[in-house]
Structure 1
């Protein structure tokens, strides 16, 4: 059993309906691919999905351009896919999990096809496969070139709406997990646009699946939607969960630098088709950095792009020769974005910059999605299964959501049966409110949020050092405890502090974590990091006393 994970138990009911019968569904927090696929796989068990946005909107899954990786061709194998995953992960991949991920990929692709996802096919009707960075084979399955995420989410959303066992509560955000007797038994939710003084609703739960997404909006430049701000990590940590590998934030090297927030993505697939990176002088710079040039792992490409920009030379993705006139048909979504910004990718290079894109860290889970808190499972980007290590392989993220969503559903079905499930609890619009007292979870805006995002990009970004990380930890702690700070800002600051604290005590460079004061990997740190909230508090105290070495064992002991 993985470090710090509890044995599964059947949760005790936290509320009763008339007649003393227990109430509560399995509650899924999040409506991206991880949440909805898990809910579908749980059918016919009753599931309530909490969605901050209208279903199908505002999810990272829906914005995914590249595709989904699976070894389904004759010349490929799950073993080769796992080997590529392990190699990209810079020594920290849980190898058993990587092999599981690759081995179960084909079956999950069949599931998506059965839900109606229109994956691209060749003239003979076979799945059309592309190649992306750090993959040894063509194994990326796409939809119309760059529309995989949107197409998958459209099909899955439609399937979820048609499934009677799935109840969807739209326009509500989860803000807290309620724990009693070491068991999650309820979730506090609140209308996303509610004022800070609005009381929360208490939703009983037989079990909770956290599928709330990533942390991109903790950074000034990100490809993620606005709700990807780390609130799932904050909720889980406050409930006592272990957070793993928090320091590893993947920066996509080629976000379009056109002044938009979120930054549109210039997909990895462009480089897979031969597009090159050049500076303002027209010089390619990746061949001098890595033997795989533009197809090197993302962390290497992101740092190279960062350095060109920092040196004043700028960075551009040149698609003119490799893709040229095929661009509008091959990559319609990216083409539309470029044209709306006044750029013609057929005729001119695209300005790019690194952007926070994916969090390899998250709530620590085992291979069945169980966390260290009874009654709580986690799936998707909010979880850390160990499949990605220090650096995620391209197009493994959508795959991870469906592989582990299916495994979580199977695990929960082993604990519950339809006959044993209690009466469904009322939805917020049907029931009464819980006791008031917490500030609302409406997305925090304004100067404090801007300052937090700028701090994270400057001190906890593509390139880091001990001085900046220590200052970030202290500043984030102050933001979190500031009087009258919105609850959403407090959650952002706590999630950000986990990232900064883990980065501070990892005194080396590995994968997506790069420190200019420790630019090489070190054998002592060739292991995953694990932190609970109490450990982060110790690191914060040590940072304030300028003694971070004293708490390295908190993460690596």
Structure 2
């Protein structure tokens, strides 16, 4: 076994898959997650994972080129074409690897992998497992493989451990003679964390792979689990890593407007469900030629616009307010496919809606947009490398450029696979980080961040979480404008950061250190997101400014040139230390 040690933070698809591949490569691996292995966005994913399979297995007429075109179109012209091509061309190989690790996809009557259709896809290419339990099937398969690897001594698994800080080794002079004039640059040497007993620990590493997921808890209504608090992005910011595309946050249009915002998969609309208002109108054709199968950002904005229209009509009729949600009508699916089809095809949704008192064979489901996926994150190159030597990122915490301004449905699980594999390959291959003269890493597709530099000042105390989530929902949600973003910025403070390990003061229902550290992370990424949204004075994909809906001379979205904003903390707080060896802390 190699003496190289990789710490993987996070247990979604990117973390689990990356850890397994690294272990197979003979690397010492520690997989660290703040909850249990099953607590992740991956485990909750319903719709599926997309891939164009080999000839004879793909849908008739489908192709990798078509998948590329659909991804670029959904991304509103803001995707990195090279990253998209890698995602789509390498997809089938990683699907095969999932099956090697024990994941079983649903099959049709002929024994082929069953393929579904989702919004903004030009062909059926969505693989699913357990009907609408794809994420759980993938996560459980990978978790079983991880536990088997741990039992064999091939990796160490640390559950219930909260990462608090990235650690650095003393800076070394540039190895590349072309960078001789650059200041020495610190490299990642490990990670500090709170263990299950909330004791502070440090773990050495040759590299760290951040796979910590998203930040749905920024908003009042979200499909994300409670652990999605932006921890990886906050860790990377403090360490001086470049961030990108922070303004692009996707809202899923069909979350149940009752209960805990349970997600109604886009695959349901792909199967024929229709959005209706309280009057029964199927209103989506008003807003987009693709109707209910338009891209997610379009559907979410259309729902918001339609609700605003209904509210105005209610006001003219002398009523106090209009409706706060619309309805998803899936009754036609059952009629078209026969009795019991909805329960067979979507067993998770069927059980969840029944538990809330709905029979969706005859009842319309009340739905509204909810925060779902962050396209922005830690900027990486095509091999998962960030601007900080020794720090990799993959999955939702990363910004590879694949999703642009709006993620195409079911591309997220695939991205976690493809780019965590590429990150592990870069680590095991020993590829070097190249340093620019200004001290920032030179990564393909990641320009020097000077224009987007955000300087730190003394940070105000993080607002209570309910207040923060309300502010973000009100002013940085589906539709934004300058006035609202200014109000959000004033409520949240500047994108600054307090000292590492010193949680801010403030009233919180839960005063535990972990809760306060999570609140600090949420406050930081909220400030960064609002700052980025203020800076982008145009609309693109999931970032819609009502005061800048679209410049009249702008090209159409699928023709626009990628124009990402990159942000860096010029005063990183990496602690230079010599952490204890794993054997001394685990």
Shift of 1:25: 2.3
Partner of 1:265: 263
* Alignment coverage as a number of residue pairs: 479
Partner of 2:237: 237
Task: Please say if 1:532 is aligned against 2:568.
Answer: yes
Partner of 1:141: 127
Deviations 1:274-309 (A, max 9, x none): 100000111111011111000000000001112333
Q: Is residue 80–residue 562 contact of structure 2 (8 Å, CA) maintained in 1? A: no
Partner of 1:389: 404
Partner of 1:150: 136
With over 3 angstroms needed to count, the CA separation of the structure-2 counterparts of 1:468 and 1:455, relative to structure 1, is same
Deviations 1:98-129 (A, max 9, x none): 01100000001100111111101112211111
Task: Please say if 1:321 is aligned against 2:332.
Answer: yes
Shift of 1:53: 1.5
Partner of 2:304: 306
3-state SS of 2:333 partner: coil
Partner of 1:406: 421
Residues 97-496 of structure 1: matches in 2 within 5 Å?
97-163=83-149, 164-180=153-169, 181=171, 182-191=186-195, 194=198, 199-260=199-260, 263-310=261-308, 311=311, 312-313=322-323, 314-324=325-335, 325=339, 326-415=341-430, 448-477=464-493, 483-485=504-506, 486-496=516-526
Shift of 1:488: 2.1
Instruction: Pick which of 480-489 and 335-344 moved more.
Output: 480-489
Q: Counterparts of 2:334 and 2:538 in 1: how far apart (Å)? A: 39
Task: Please say if 1:58 is aligned against 2:47.
Answer: no
Partner of 2:445: none
Deviations 1:397-451 (A, max 9, x none): 00000111111111111129xxxxxxxxxxxxxxxxxxxxxxxxxxxxx980000
Instruction: Pick which of 161-170 and 521-530 moved more.
Output: 521-530
With over 3 angstroms needed to count, the CA separation of the structure-2 counterparts of 1:134 and 1:483, relative to structure 1, is closer
3-state SS of 2:540 partner: coil
Shift of 1:453: 0.7
> TM-score normalised to the size of structure 1?
0.83
Q: Counterparts of 2:233 and 2:470 in 1: how far apart (Å)? A: 20
Q: Is residue 253–residue 369 contact of structure 2 (8 Å, CA) maintained in 1? A: yes
Q: Is residue 32–residue 157 contact of structure 2 (8 Å, CA) maintained in 1? A: yes
Q: Is residue 216–residue 228 contact of structure 1 (8 Å, CA) maintained in 2? A: yes
With over 3 angstroms needed to count, the CA separation of the structure-2 counterparts of 1:276 and 1:192, relative to structure 1, is farther
Deviations 1:71-100 (A, max 9, x none): 111532111111110011001110011011
Partner of 2:18: 38
With over 3 angstroms needed to count, the CA separation of the structure-2 counterparts of 1:362 and 1:320, relative to structure 1, is same
With over 3 angstroms needed to count, the CA separation of the structure-2 counterparts of 1:526 and 1:109, relative to structure 1, is closer
Deviations 1:107-156 (A, max 9, x none): 01100111111101112211111110000111000013201000001100
Q: Is residue 4–residue 27 contact of structure 2 (8 Å, CA) maintained in 1? A: no
Q: Is residue 9–residue 31 contact of structure 2 (8 Å, CA) maintained in 1? A: yes
Q: Counterparts of 2:293 and 2:395 in 1: how far apart (Å)? A: 25
2:8 maps to which of 28, 34, 54: 28
Shift of 1:455: 0.7
Deviations 1:367-401 (A, max 9, x none): 10000000000000000000000000000000000
Over aligned residues, Cα RMSD in angstroms?
2.1
Q: Counterparts of 1:525 and 1:100 in 2: how far apart (Å)? A: 19
Shift of 1:38: 0.3
Q: Counterparts of 1:235 and 1:167 in 2: how far apart (Å)? A: 22
Q: Counterparts of 1:534 and 1:87 in 2: how far apart (Å)? A: 35
Q: Counterparts of 2:531 and 2:107 in 1: how far apart (Å)? A: 46
3-state SS of 1:407 partner: helix
Q: Counterparts of 2:550 and 2:537 in 1: how far apart (Å)? A: 9
Partner of 1:423: none
Query: For structure 1, which runs of at least 5 residues remain unmatched after alignment?
Result: 1-21, 417-445, 537-557
Q: Counterparts of 1:483 and 1:42 in 2: how far apart (Å)? A: 37
Deviations 1:165-220 (A, max 9, x none): 221001101011112421111211103673xxxx5211111100000000101111
Shift of 1:471: 2.4
3-state SS of 1:322 partner: helix
Q: Is residue 251–residue 512 contact of structure 1 (8 Å, CA) maintained in 2? A: yes
Q: Counterparts of 2:275 and 2:243 in 1: how far apart (Å)? A: 36
Q: Counterparts of 1:259 and 1:111 in 2: how far apart (Å)? A: 36
Partner of 2:528: 498
Instruction: Pick which of 398-407 and 66-75 moved more.
Output: 66-75
Shift of 1:535: 10
Shift of 1:475: 2.1
Task: Please say if 1:71 is aligned against 2:107.
Answer: no
Q: Counterparts of 2:569 and 2:524 in 1: how far apart (Å)? A: 9
Partner of 2:435: none
